[in-house]
Every structure is written in C-alpha cells, then in structure tokens.
C-alpha cells in the first residue's frame, strides 16, 4: 500500500525511533512492502519507516537505473533493520542530497566517504557491508531519519540549499 510521506515540520520526523524486536512477522513484511511501494511510486532511492509515521528503526533503499539519478551507481535492494553505522577513516565526500520529506529541495552535504554498516533483514538475517560513494551516502541519509535528523541539519553552507528547479534549471539531478 502506498502511504503518505511526512514532510519536514511533522514532529514524528524528529523522534529517536525504536528498535525492531519482532522479525519475520506478517506485520513487518507488510511494512517493508509499503515502504518499497511508496518509495518506488515517488522514484526514491530510499525510504525510512519514520517518513511514513512508523516509529521503528527500519529503512529500505536500492537503485537500479533510474533517470532521476543518471550519475548514481547501482545499489542493491536492501531492507535494513536496527542498523549500526561505522565510518571508516576521516575522509568525507560532498554532494547534493534530496529527501522525499523535503520535496523539490536540494542541499550540499558532507558525509563519510567510506562506511561499514550492519543490521538485519525483515526475517532477522544479519547483513554487513563495507561501501563507499553514493551507496555510503544513501545509507547515512536513510539511517539519519531513525535519529530524527534531516539532511539540512547536516549542512554547513546554506547558500547551497534551494529548490531544484532554480539550482539546476533543466537538469534532473537528484538524490534520495
């Protein structure tokens, strides 16, 4: 089921989300299906449960070829519950980000360039990956939603924050 995506300003986006405790349930699989359908309908690269008002530490993400992300590398479809993120080294990488909770806006955000992350899929199977680049950025963006953090809260230069049609006239650059 496609669910409404909460927009910045909704207090439910500021919560510290609660751990997933019951894996493999009908309810959790239904929630994952809703996240996937909602994300795909909006051409998103990822979506976090708090963005549809569900107070759980659960994100989904994945990019195949998407015309909204002509530069983006492919990221495998992933369901990630109770994630733990470990930046590797001090190197950062800056790029434009967008968010389905801030439609039409983009901001320039620094993220750890290299990242190890772990967590569980919807059946409780453990997952661990070491990634970089767009994949690392996407995971950091989505998992920030679980701690009530939206990308503008990571920004340092607000001259590089604005409406996508003004920043990139005629372009389709996007993230999340």
User: Please, which residue, 52 or 99, has the CB nearer to Ni ion?
Assistant: 99
User: Please, which residue, 120 or 145, has the CB nearer to Ni ion?
Assistant: 145
Tokens (6 digits) for 157: 């230069």
**How far is residue 108 from each of residues 98, 131, 167, measured CA to CA in Å?**
9, 20, 11
> Which one of the spans 18-26, 30-38, 69-77, 91-99 is the region binding Ni ion (CB under 5 A)?
91-99
Helix (H) or strand (E) holding 162: strand 161-163
Give the start-end residues of each E strand in 13-139. Answer: 46-48, 58-63, 75-87, 92-97, 105-112, 114-120, 126-132
| Least Cβ distance, residue 71 to Ni ion (angstroms) | 18
Per-residue x/- marks for Ni ion, 109-128, CB under 5 A? --------------------
Q: Please pick, among 73, 97, 128, 142, the residue that the annotation labels catalytic.
A: 142
Residue 155 buriedness (CB in 10 A; 0-12 / 13-18 / 19+): middle
| Least Cβ distance, residue 101 to Ni ion (angstroms) | 5
Which residues pair with residue 118 across a beta bridge? 84, 128
Tokens (6 digits) for 66: 């998407």
Which residues pair with residue 92 across a beta bridge? 112
Regarding 79 and contact with Ni ion (CB under 5 A), the answer is no
Regarding 63 and contact with Ni ion (CB under 5 A), the answer is no
> Catalytic: 142?
yes
Alpha helix ranges (H) inside the chain: 26-41, 133-144, 164-167
| Least Cβ distance, residue 13 to Ni ion (angstroms) | 9
Residue nearest to Ni ion (CB): 99
> Which one of the spans 6-14, 26-34, 98-106, 131-139 is the region binding Ni ion (CB under 5 A)?
98-106
Among 28, 35, 99, 146, binds Ni ion (CB under 5 A): 99
Active site residues per annotation: 142
């Amino acid at each position: 089921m496609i669910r409404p995506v909460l927009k910045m300003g909704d207090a439910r986006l500021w919560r510290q989300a609660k751990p997933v405790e019951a894996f493999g349930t009908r309810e959790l699989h239904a929630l994952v299906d809703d996240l996937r359908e909602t994300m795909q309908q909006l051409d998103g690269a990822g979506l976090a449960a708090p963005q549809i008002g569900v107070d759980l530490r659960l994100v989904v993400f994945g990019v195949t070829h998407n015309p909204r992300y002509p530069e983006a590398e492919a990221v495998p479809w992933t369901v990630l519950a109770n994630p733990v993120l470990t930046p590797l080294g001090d190197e950062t990488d800056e790029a434009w980000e967008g968010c389905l909770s801030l439609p039409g806006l983009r901001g320039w955000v620094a993220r750890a360039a290299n990242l190890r992350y772990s967590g569980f899929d919807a059946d409780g199977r453990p997952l661990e990956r070491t990634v970089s680049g767009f994949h690392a950025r996407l995971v950091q963006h989505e998992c920030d939603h679980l701690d009530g953090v939206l990308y503008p809260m990571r920004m340092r230069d607000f001259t590089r924050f604005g409406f996508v049609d003004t920043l990139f006239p005629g372009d389709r650059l996007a993230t999340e």
